[in-house]
Structure 1
Amino acid sequence: MKIVLDCNIYDILAQDSECLTLLTSLIEKEDWKVLIPITLLDELKDSPFKGIPDWIQAEEHLDLVAVYGHTKYGEGCYGDGNIYECHKGNSIKIKDAIIVDFAVNKADIFVSEDRRARKRLLEMDVETQVYDYNDFKNLTRHWRPIKKPPAGF
């Protein structure tokens, strides 16, 4: 399970030892991965965490779109940008659109407290699951892996 946690989720997760313990266990035992695109990493660097918090195991990745005037050399890929353009629309929220573009293209789950981001993503009819923090916490509490049948069945 690949997950993108929006920057606002790290603030909440830092105060919720139950959810953090559950998530850490799922990362270790169920092969869950927290993915962090460069734009999100920059937001975390500007946060009180000053980067990826040491209490979570996460993988850094390049952004999947390169946006003129925003993306630094070597920090983004030249993707088609369809999700980025659809999510951004007429807004000026470039960072949000880059993060959502990454989540749709690389993750199974996107978690955010940003209602606008969740709403737009749900309207796009993509396969990425969208959660707010409480729903994500419930997912970590009740996660049951899908068991594969034994070989030969």
Structure 2
Amino acid sequence: MKALLQRVTDASVAVDGKVIGACGPGLLILVCAMPDDTEQTADALALKISKLRLFKDDAGKMNLSIVQTGGSALVVSQFTLAADTSRGNRPGFSGAAKPDQAQALYLHFAQALRALGIAVETGEFGADMAVSLTNDGPVTLWLDTENT
């Protein structure tokens, strides 16, 4: 799985002008399932994210995890993270998991975060979404389970 994490003070996602998910201080997580991913891959990614020390402690150092701060997460499916730009200027997305598999893994990933004690809201899989955020820091990280 691929994930783009942004530490945020707030984030929201809207479909047809209606906010369907939001979070306060925490993480906006854009996530993409790949064809070889499994529920175990999603669980491992969720565990990794839950332990990443991305939040400031009392001394201003990034020493605390989202769990330690009581932060929340907004998880949005983003198949474009699988973009292949090696053959010209139009990205290809055939490397992403097929929709049925991707949706199941996306939902499983969100549930795995919840099981780790993180309050999670989500976007709507496959919808045309408008995502708003206030990046805190800015702090943005790219994770790929192939490399972690």
Under TM normalisation by the shorter chain, which class is it?
0.3 to 0.5
Between the two structures, name the one with larger relative contact order (CA 8 Å, sep ≥ 6).
2
TM score, norm. by length of structure 2:
0.33
More helix by percentage: 1
* The structure with more radius of gyration: 1
TM score, norm. by length of structure 1:
0.32
More strand by percentage: 2
